[in-house]
Structure 1
């Protein structure tokens, strides 16, 4: 059903903004009535980026479904980064958001602080002059876009209820804060990617056709099949803190984006990693000058080691410390020149063996026993395995010790915070709670407070 007077949707306007503007034009006071009228369902949550009920609002306003989907949502961008674009499209056309989060990879995004709605103070004034009313711009709403690419100023973020249809403030006297160059470059790149998929022009896809792995290859960051993750994460975190004031990518996500071809995540994460890699300087390949310098250092340390042997020092570890090389390095040189070096021999006496077994039976850690007796950990393990049933006994001792600690942790938490529910207790001591759940469930359920009935009023 199309209503008699429905104003057109404005350029770069979100579906949510369009509904809010119609709510104002119709002088409707009840948001549920507007939702029912436009989306056929009330209440309904309409996201600025990936809204629901597009098919119904298209019929109600006389707009084309594809026009709303392609030019007034971020479906084009997300469709290029999800495993099943058809499922995402069907979720957005329907009135149910049950499958939208999973279909769009937003559920595991971990970037909630980049949500909310944003507006540009200068766009507010421009829209009022041109259209008589300010509205929400789609280009301001994508997670990762923190500035207006038209006026080069930072966006103002506001929190709002997506079940109520509200327009941005119609007056903002501030001239805006000038955005940083990195924030502007990232915003333009994110919107370029969306435009790429929106108009099917492979602009960004040609620039970043191979994704993060190809960018790393072009920057000469690979060493064989490996990447120096410490160096890479330092660059990622530095730029993330600079643009967002928090770290947007974990090392696990970065690793998967580089090495896994079937890893799907929020588009902002993928594009931000490409953005960081694009700014990385090209790592210079190893030259003959570098190799010559390395060989000179090796030759210097070799003569230094030989000098110690000629002085009569035949102990490996003191020599390795003096030349700042490994024990194997100084040992190999000793063998090459025929120097007899002092070996560390350790004879295990019956007294040492008895003490090791006694400490093992008492539950002392293997490394502690090895340190106290001056032997290796493998030697301690050898004696433990040589006593029938001792290894099993030590496992049981560790389990009982863990049970005691977990029980005490639960009792302390319940004593200090008696008002906590079962769910909150689990959050407070998650590791201890889950250990008891797996290994001591009967005691756990007998000790926990009674479950509370949360009946809806």
Structure 2
């Protein structure tokens, strides 16, 4: 018996449920025939074993995969794992691993969803209510056709299928909001586009950042205005579901929800991509970001220009600070940055003193040493260093080179003093130097370290000495008894360690004695 003919937008999971109702055999027998395993579990939207199922249909495995499962959705948003997701021979466990479902922070309880209005229409048109594939999209809770919330049904245990597990048309439907219906329409349209699109070369994170930049969602430095974005996504998601869901943002400040999407470093759940794409294309406006920026990026330049003009006009730092609403430290930094002479009290840090401080800083002196030498605070030294062009980078370079020389010397000295040491000993006694050079100069470290030594086994027992000891005891027992003793009896006298039975190859002297004694006993018996 073949699987029932596919109905419009019917999932492969639904066809298997209808097959169980029509086959007349038990669930285990039907699953054994279809999937080759009577205890197999059938996923409601990531159906596996397509190669086996295609033998009971007129469609190809590609058609089953593309139009009757949600595998294309996961393969589209997880291109790195698309080969495993599109594998016709993949089992349910292989498919779940390929779709990274266990690694996502956001996950949804696995259920089957349906629209009561659609179920009633299906009963009138086809005589049976069935599971629609688009209704099973994770995070989607609205029907775009009837403007109603979807109803969830708990899956049967173990196999997730049953002959009576089909939508119930008698359930009362509830109307959903316009935004939820709009999101359902967008999601279903996106799924149809993905099904007909072969591959995508563009990186999603670049696409999202370009969309944000066009609508004012990025600063001049290229950073995301995350407060406005998190608030907007949360307010939209609150209208898309009749009940709380772990797939949605948890709060108005859930910045982690979309940060990984914008960085593009780790795989994310397809629903997060759908939600962010829907928000950026359908809900986002320029006002959202401009209303949340205080002050605008260009305002900083106005502050600097105004500060410079007031300082050049002869006002004191305190007066300029009150005028522009900034601190005296900010005004002092701007003055040093643009080399504007200011009336400082006390008049201790002169231009000549700044040059002397900069010279010592270039030579690598510590801030505390410079501050004690000139009798000023460490903060003043740091301010002069940070406002002198190129000085910070130069001091970082000097510190790095000094650290490298010191660590190289410590490694080189230890190897010279202990030429027979191994690499583990070098790492143990010069741990900080070893790891720093391993990170920053591994080529030099490899040249200086001792040649790696091959590991060799050291016996915990000296079997030569033990052989002599056992030989002496066995000789005494043989002499005292005057009769042949079995190996088992001798071993019990030695403590029952099994030395005379399992370790004979390590006791050559003792075994030679026993063999000689046994031969003598045999010759006496023959006589």
Q: TM-score, normalised by structure 1?
A: 0.61
Q: Which residue of 1 aligns with 2:223?
A: 226
| Kept after mapping to 2: 8 A contact 1:119/1:136 | yes
For 1:190 and 1:139, the matched residues in 2 are separated by 9
Q: Which residue of 1 aligns with 2:284?
A: 280
User: How far off is 1:322 after superposition?
Assistant: 9.2
Q: Which residue of 2 aligns with 1:197?
A: 194
Query: Does 2:243 match 1:240?
Result: no
The change in CA–CA distance for 1:229 and 1:243 in structure 2 (over 3 A counts) is: same
- 1:88-114 alpha-carbon deviations (Å, 9 max, x no partner): 122xx3362232123123222334336
Q: Which residue of 2 aligns with 1:185?
A: 182
- After superposition, residues 440-451 of structure 1 pair within 5 angstroms as none
Comparing 141-150 and 277-286, the one that deviates more:
277-286
Q: Which residue of 2 aligns with 1:327?
A: 328
- 1:129-162 alpha-carbon deviations (Å, 9 max, x no partner): 1111111110100112111111111101122136
The change in CA–CA distance for 1:6 and 1:113 in structure 2 (over 3 A counts) is: closer
User: How far off is 1:290 after superposition?
Assistant: 10
The change in CA–CA distance for 1:213 and 1:336 in structure 2 (over 3 A counts) is: closer
The change in CA–CA distance for 1:54 and 1:320 in structure 2 (over 3 A counts) is: same
Q: Which residue of 1 aligns with 2:211?
A: 215
User: How far off is 1:9 after superposition?
Assistant: 2.0
| Kept after mapping to 2: 8 A contact 1:54/1:69 | yes
| Kept after mapping to 2: 8 A contact 1:320/1:327 | yes
For 1:292 and 1:68, the matched residues in 2 are separated by 58
The change in CA–CA distance for 1:147 and 1:308 in structure 2 (over 3 A counts) is: same
For 1:281 and 1:26, the matched residues in 2 are separated by 55
- After superposition, residues 132-147 of structure 1 pair within 5 angstroms as 132-147=127-142
Task: Name the SS of the counterpart of 1:44 in structure 2.
Answer: coil
For 1:183 and 1:53, the matched residues in 2 are separated by 34
For 1:168 and 1:298, the matched residues in 2 are separated by 71
Structure showing greater relative contact order (alpha-carbon pairs closer than 8 Å, 6 or more residues apart)? 1
For 1:125 and 1:8, the matched residues in 2 are separated by 19
The change in CA–CA distance for 1:239 and 1:34 in structure 2 (over 3 A counts) is: same
User: How far off is 1:127 after superposition?
Assistant: 0.8
Q: Which residue of 2 aligns with 1:256?
A: 260
Aligned residues: 332
The change in CA–CA distance for 1:295 and 1:65 in structure 2 (over 3 A counts) is: closer
For 1:201 and 1:95, the matched residues in 2 are separated by 20
User: How far off is 1:298 after superposition?
Assistant: 7.6
Extract unaligned runs of 5+ from structure 2.
Answer: 350-376, 380-527
For 2:76 and 2:300, the matched residues in 1 are separated by 48
User: How far off is 1:239 after superposition?
Assistant: 2.0
For 1:205 and 1:276, the matched residues in 2 are separated by 22
Q: Which residue of 1 aligns with 2:53?
A: 57
The change in CA–CA distance for 1:230 and 1:27 in structure 2 (over 3 A counts) is: same
Task: Name the SS of the counterpart of 2:125 in structure 1.
Answer: helix
Q: Which residue of 2 aligns with 1:48?
A: 44
For 1:124 and 1:69, the matched residues in 2 are separated by 24
Aligned-residue Cα RMSD (Å) equals 4.2
Q: Which residue of the other structure, out of 169, 172, 176, is the alignment partner of 1:171?
A: 169
Q: Which residue of 2 aligns with 1:108?
A: 103
Q: Which residue of 2 aligns with 1:340?
A: 344
| Kept after mapping to 2: 8 A contact 1:52/1:97 | yes
| Kept after mapping to 2: 8 A contact 1:147/1:154 | yes
| Kept after mapping to 2: 8 A contact 1:213/1:259 | no
For 1:163 and 1:77, the matched residues in 2 are separated by 23
Task: Name the SS of the counterpart of 1:117 in structure 2.
Answer: strand
Task: Name the SS of the counterpart of 1:24 in structure 2.
Answer: helix
Task: Name the SS of the counterpart of 1:190 in structure 2.
Answer: helix
For 1:178 and 1:272, the matched residues in 2 are separated by 21
Task: Name the SS of the counterpart of 1:272 in structure 2.
Answer: helix
Q: Which residue of the other structure, out of 92, 95, 110, is the alignment partner of 1:97?
A: 92
- The structure having more radius of gyration, on CA atoms, is 2
User: How far off is 1:64 after superposition?
Assistant: 2.5
- 1:45-97 alpha-carbon deviations (Å, 9 max, x no partner): 1111111112112213444322211110112222212313221122xx33622
The change in CA–CA distance for 1:179 and 1:31 in structure 2 (over 3 A counts) is: same
Q: Which residue of 2 aligns with 1:122?
A: 117
Q: Which residue of 2 aligns with 1:13?
A: 10
| Kept after mapping to 1: 8 A contact 2:135/2:143 | yes
| Kept after mapping to 1: 8 A contact 2:303/2:324 | no
Q: TM-score, normalised by structure 2?
A: 0.54
Extract unaligned runs of 5+ from structure 1.
Answer: 346-374, 378-457
For 2:325 and 2:256, the matched residues in 1 are separated by 34
For 1:327 and 1:125, the matched residues in 2 are separated by 73
The change in CA–CA distance for 1:220 and 1:42 in structure 2 (over 3 A counts) is: same
User: How far off is 1:333 after superposition?
Assistant: 6.8
User: How far off is 1:299 after superposition?
Assistant: 4.8
For 1:46 and 1:341, the matched residues in 2 are separated by 80
For 1:213 and 1:46, the matched residues in 2 are separated by 38
